[in-house]
Amino acid sequence: MKLLYTPIKGYVHTVEAVINYAGLRDRIEPVETKPFDPDTPLSAVNPLGKVPTLQLDSGEYLAGGPVIYEYLDSLHRRRRLYPAKGPQRWTTLRQAWMADGLFDTFVQLIVESWLPADQQRAPYVQRCWGKIVGILDQIEQDVPGYARLDIGQMRTVGALQFVRLKMRQVGAAAVGLDPAFDPLAGRPQLAAWYLPMARRKIFREPLIRKE
Ligand SMILES: N[C@@H](CCC(=O)N[C@@H](CS)C(=O)NCC(=O)O)C(=O)O
Protein backbone atom coordinates (compact mmCIF):
# COMPACT_ATOMS: atom_id res chain seq x y z
CA MET A 1 0.00 0.00 0.00
CA LYS A 2 1.13 3.55 -0.66
CA LEU A 3 0.53 6.26 1.91
CA LEU A 4 0.48 9.77 0.47
CA TYR A 5 1.11 12.17 3.34
CA THR A 6 3.24 15.04 4.58
CA PRO A 7 5.98 14.07 7.03
CA ILE A 8 6.66 16.84 9.54
CA LYS A 9 9.79 17.23 11.63
CA GLY A 10 9.12 16.29 15.24
CA TYR A 11 5.64 14.99 14.57
CA VAL A 12 4.07 11.56 14.27
CA HIS A 13 0.77 11.66 12.39
CA THR A 14 -2.16 9.66 13.74
CA VAL A 15 -2.01 7.51 10.61
CA GLU A 16 1.61 6.64 11.43
CA ALA A 17 0.68 5.78 15.03
CA VAL A 18 -2.12 3.53 13.78
CA ILE A 19 0.31 1.84 11.37
CA ASN A 20 2.72 1.30 14.27
CA TYR A 21 -0.03 -0.07 16.51
CA ALA A 22 -1.20 -2.41 13.75
CA GLY A 23 2.34 -3.63 12.99
CA LEU A 24 1.96 -2.65 9.33
CA ARG A 25 5.13 -0.65 8.72
CA ASP A 26 6.49 -3.30 6.32
CA ARG A 27 3.36 -3.15 4.18
CA ILE A 28 3.30 0.62 3.71
CA GLU A 29 5.28 2.58 1.16
CA PRO A 30 5.34 6.19 2.39
CA VAL A 31 5.12 8.84 -0.35
CA GLU A 32 5.89 12.41 0.63
CA THR A 33 3.21 14.74 -0.74
CA LYS A 34 2.62 18.47 -0.33
CA PRO A 35 -1.14 19.12 -0.50
CA PHE A 36 -0.81 22.88 -0.97
CA ASP A 37 1.57 22.51 -3.92
CA PRO A 38 -0.50 23.37 -7.03
CA ASP A 39 1.15 20.45 -8.85
CA THR A 40 0.36 17.95 -6.15
CA PRO A 41 -0.54 14.53 -7.60
CA LEU A 42 -3.11 14.23 -4.81
CA SER A 43 -5.95 15.96 -6.61
CA ALA A 44 -5.80 13.38 -9.43
CA VAL A 45 -6.77 10.65 -6.97
CA ASN A 46 -8.54 12.52 -4.18
CA PRO A 47 -10.72 15.44 -5.27
CA LEU A 48 -10.41 16.90 -1.76
CA GLY A 49 -6.66 17.17 -2.34
CA LYS A 50 -5.94 16.26 1.29
CA VAL A 51 -3.49 14.05 3.09
CA PRO A 52 -3.55 11.36 4.26
CA THR A 53 -4.61 9.37 1.19
CA LEU A 54 -3.97 5.64 0.97
CA GLN A 55 -3.61 3.65 -2.24
CA LEU A 56 -4.55 0.03 -1.66
CA ASP A 57 -2.77 -2.83 -3.41
CA SER A 58 -5.86 -3.13 -5.63
CA GLY A 59 -5.19 0.42 -6.87
CA GLU A 60 -8.23 1.87 -5.11
CA TYR A 61 -7.68 5.05 -3.08
CA LEU A 62 -9.03 5.64 0.41
CA ALA A 63 -9.18 9.20 1.66
CA GLY A 64 -9.93 10.80 4.98
CA GLY A 65 -7.91 9.97 8.06
CA PRO A 66 -10.81 8.32 9.92
CA VAL A 67 -11.59 6.05 6.95
CA ILE A 68 -7.93 5.08 6.56
CA TYR A 69 -7.51 4.40 10.29
CA GLU A 70 -10.55 2.14 10.29
CA TYR A 71 -9.29 0.27 7.22
CA LEU A 72 -5.85 -0.25 8.81
CA ASP A 73 -7.58 -1.35 12.01
CA SER A 74 -9.25 -4.14 10.05
CA LEU A 75 -5.85 -5.59 9.04
CA HIS A 76 -4.34 -6.62 12.38
CA ARG A 77 -4.98 -9.15 15.13
CA ARG A 78 -4.44 -6.93 18.18
CA ARG A 79 -7.34 -5.45 20.10
CA ARG A 80 -9.34 -3.23 17.75
CA LEU A 81 -8.99 0.54 17.99
CA TYR A 82 -12.58 0.92 16.74
CA PRO A 83 -14.94 -0.83 19.19
CA ALA A 84 -17.25 -3.01 17.08
CA LYS A 85 -20.49 -2.27 18.92
CA GLY A 86 -22.13 -1.05 22.09
CA PRO A 87 -22.11 2.39 23.71
CA GLN A 88 -18.30 2.51 23.75
CA ARG A 89 -18.30 2.59 19.94
CA TRP A 90 -20.26 5.85 19.85
CA THR A 91 -18.25 7.45 22.64
CA THR A 92 -15.01 6.53 20.86
CA LEU A 93 -16.26 7.82 17.50
CA ARG A 94 -17.39 11.09 19.07
CA GLN A 95 -14.02 11.54 20.74
CA ALA A 96 -12.17 10.73 17.50
CA TRP A 97 -14.38 13.17 15.60
CA MET A 98 -13.79 15.96 18.14
CA ALA A 99 -10.04 15.42 17.95
CA ASP A 100 -10.27 15.47 14.17
CA GLY A 101 -12.14 18.77 14.46
CA LEU A 102 -9.36 20.11 16.69
CA PHE A 103 -6.77 19.22 14.05
CA ASP A 104 -8.84 20.55 11.13
CA THR A 105 -9.73 23.82 12.85
CA PHE A 106 -6.08 24.37 13.69
CA VAL A 107 -5.17 23.78 10.03
CA GLN A 108 -7.77 26.45 9.10
CA LEU A 109 -5.95 28.85 11.40
CA ILE A 110 -2.62 27.95 9.83
CA VAL A 111 -3.98 28.73 6.37
CA GLU A 112 -5.39 32.06 7.61
CA SER A 113 -2.06 32.89 9.25
CA TRP A 114 -0.34 32.69 5.85
CA LEU A 115 -2.12 35.94 4.89
CA PRO A 116 -0.56 39.30 5.77
CA ALA A 117 -1.94 40.44 9.16
CA ASP A 118 -4.08 43.22 7.64
CA GLN A 119 -5.78 40.75 5.29
CA GLN A 120 -6.63 38.19 7.95
CA ARG A 121 -10.23 37.99 9.18
CA ALA A 122 -10.00 38.57 12.93
CA PRO A 123 -13.59 37.39 13.63
CA TYR A 124 -12.90 34.18 11.70
CA VAL A 125 -9.71 33.56 13.69
CA GLN A 126 -11.65 34.10 16.95
CA ARG A 127 -14.43 31.80 15.78
CA CYS A 128 -11.90 29.04 15.04
CA TRP A 129 -10.15 29.72 18.33
CA GLY A 130 -13.41 29.37 20.28
CA LYS A 131 -13.90 25.92 18.75
CA ILE A 132 -10.36 24.86 19.64
CA VAL A 133 -10.74 25.95 23.27
CA GLY A 134 -14.18 24.31 23.47
CA ILE A 135 -12.84 21.00 22.18
CA LEU A 136 -9.90 21.10 24.61
CA ASP A 137 -12.34 21.71 27.49
CA GLN A 138 -14.47 18.80 26.31
CA ILE A 139 -11.42 16.52 26.20
CA GLU A 140 -10.50 17.59 29.74
CA GLN A 141 -13.96 16.36 30.81
CA ASP A 142 -13.67 13.14 28.81
CA VAL A 143 -10.26 12.02 30.11
CA PRO A 144 -11.47 10.47 33.40
CA GLY A 145 -13.77 8.18 31.39
CA TYR A 146 -11.04 6.94 29.07
CA ALA A 147 -10.76 3.15 29.04
CA ARG A 148 -8.21 1.17 27.01
CA LEU A 149 -6.41 2.75 24.08
CA ASP A 150 -8.79 3.38 21.16
CA ILE A 151 -8.98 5.56 18.07
CA GLY A 152 -10.51 8.42 20.05
CA GLN A 153 -7.46 8.59 22.29
CA MET A 154 -5.03 8.07 19.43
CA ARG A 155 -6.57 10.86 17.38
CA THR A 156 -6.51 13.08 20.46
CA VAL A 157 -2.78 12.50 20.92
CA GLY A 158 -2.20 13.26 17.22
CA ALA A 159 -4.22 16.49 17.29
CA LEU A 160 -2.68 17.70 20.55
CA GLN A 161 0.86 16.95 19.41
CA PHE A 162 0.17 19.01 16.30
CA VAL A 163 -1.25 21.98 18.20
CA ARG A 164 1.67 21.93 20.67
CA LEU A 165 4.24 21.70 17.88
CA LYS A 166 2.79 24.55 15.80
CA MET A 167 1.27 26.89 18.40
CA ARG A 168 4.19 29.26 18.75
CA GLN A 169 4.53 29.77 15.00
CA VAL A 170 0.78 30.02 14.30
CA GLY A 171 0.14 32.17 17.36
CA ALA A 172 2.80 34.62 16.21
CA ALA A 173 1.37 34.88 12.69
CA ALA A 174 -2.41 34.75 13.22
CA VAL A 175 -4.04 37.96 14.46
CA GLY A 176 -5.17 38.01 18.10
CA LEU A 177 -3.70 34.70 19.24
CA ASP A 178 -1.26 34.10 22.09
CA PRO A 179 1.84 32.25 20.81
CA ALA A 180 2.55 31.06 24.38
CA PHE A 181 -0.81 29.27 24.65
CA ASP A 182 -0.35 25.79 26.09
CA PRO A 183 -3.32 23.41 25.62
CA LEU A 184 -2.28 21.45 28.72
CA ALA A 185 -2.14 24.49 31.05
CA GLY A 186 -5.20 24.65 33.30
CA ARG A 187 -6.30 21.18 32.12
CA PRO A 188 -4.73 18.90 34.73
CA GLN A 189 -6.50 15.70 33.72
CA LEU A 190 -5.56 16.17 30.11
CA ALA A 191 -1.92 16.87 31.02
CA ALA A 192 -1.68 13.85 33.34
CA TRP A 193 -3.07 11.56 30.63
CA TYR A 194 -1.38 13.07 27.57
CA LEU A 195 2.25 13.38 28.67
CA PRO A 196 2.93 9.68 29.40
CA MET A 197 0.72 8.59 26.50
CA ALA A 198 2.60 10.69 23.95
CA ARG A 199 5.87 9.08 25.07
CA ARG A 200 4.69 5.63 24.00
CA LYS A 201 6.69 4.10 21.17
CA ILE A 202 3.81 4.14 18.67
CA PHE A 203 3.70 7.95 18.92
CA ARG A 204 7.44 8.40 18.48
CA GLU A 205 8.22 6.44 15.30
CA PRO A 206 7.40 8.26 12.05
CA LEU A 207 7.58 6.38 8.72
CA ILE A 208 9.89 9.07 7.33
CA ARG A 209 12.02 10.96 9.82
CA LYS A 210 12.50 14.59 8.78
CA GLU A 211 15.64 16.37 9.92
N1 LIG B 1 -9.44 15.49 9.22
C2 LIG B 1 -8.84 15.30 7.94
C3 LIG B 1 -7.71 16.25 7.86
C4 LIG B 1 -6.99 16.20 6.60
C5 LIG B 1 -6.35 17.52 6.39
O6 LIG B 1 -6.92 18.57 6.68
N7 LIG B 1 -5.16 17.51 5.84
C8 LIG B 1 -4.51 18.76 5.56
C9 LIG B 1 -3.12 18.67 6.10
S10 LIG B 1 -2.31 20.18 5.95
C11 LIG B 1 -4.52 18.94 4.06
O12 LIG B 1 -4.19 18.02 3.34
N13 LIG B 1 -4.93 20.11 3.60
C14 LIG B 1 -4.94 20.40 2.21
C15 LIG B 1 -6.08 21.30 1.82
O16 LIG B 1 -6.82 21.74 2.73
O17 LIG B 1 -6.25 21.53 0.64
C18 LIG B 1 -8.33 13.89 7.78
O19 LIG B 1 -7.91 13.29 8.78
O20 LIG B 1 -8.37 13.40 6.66
Q: What is the 24 CA–ligand 1 centroid distance (Å)?
A: 22
Instruction: Tell whether 106 and 193 lie within a shared domain.
Output: yes
Residues 25 and 59 in one domain: yes
Quick: pLDDT tens for 139-175: 999 999 999 999 999 999 999 999 999 999 999 999 9
Q: Which of 49, 48, 30 is nearest to 39 (CA)?
A: 49
Write out the residue range of the structural domain in which residue 101 sits.
Answer: 87-203
> Does residue 82 sit within a domain?
no
Nearest CA, atom 13, ligand 1: 50
pLDDT at 101: 98
Indicate if the pLDDT at residue 177 is higher than 90: yes
Question: Are 109 and 25 part of one and the same domain?
Answer: no
For ligand 1, atom 18, name the residue with the nearest CA. Answer: 65
**Site to substitute for ligand 1 among 51, 72, 112, most atoms within 8 A of C-beta:** 51
> How many domains does the chain fold into?
2
| Per-residue pLDDT tens digits for 41-77 | 898 999 999 999 999 999 999 999 999 999 999 999 9
Same domain (yes/no): 112, 198: yes
Enter the DSSP assignment of 11: B
Q: Is the domain of 103 the same as that of 172?
A: yes
Question: Do 18 and 103 sit in the same domain of this protein?
Answer: no
Query: Do 97 and 51 fall within a single domain?
Result: no
Residue 42 lies in a domain: yes
Domain boundary among 21, 50, 73: 73
- Taking the centre of ligand 1 as the mean of its atom positions, its distance from the CA of residue 51, in whole angstroms, is 5
Does position 132 have pLDDT exceeding 90, yes or no? yes
Q: Are residues 167 and 120 in the same domain?
A: yes
Alpha-carbon span 168 to 157, nearest angstrom: 18
Does residue 188 share a domain with residue 105? yes
Instruction: Please check whether residue 207 is in contact with residue 28, taking contact to mean a CB–CB distance below 8 angstroms.
Output: yes
Q: Say which CATH number the domain at 64 has.
A: 3.40.30.10
208: in domain:
no
Dihedral of the CA atoms 145, 105, 182, 7 (nearest 10)? 100
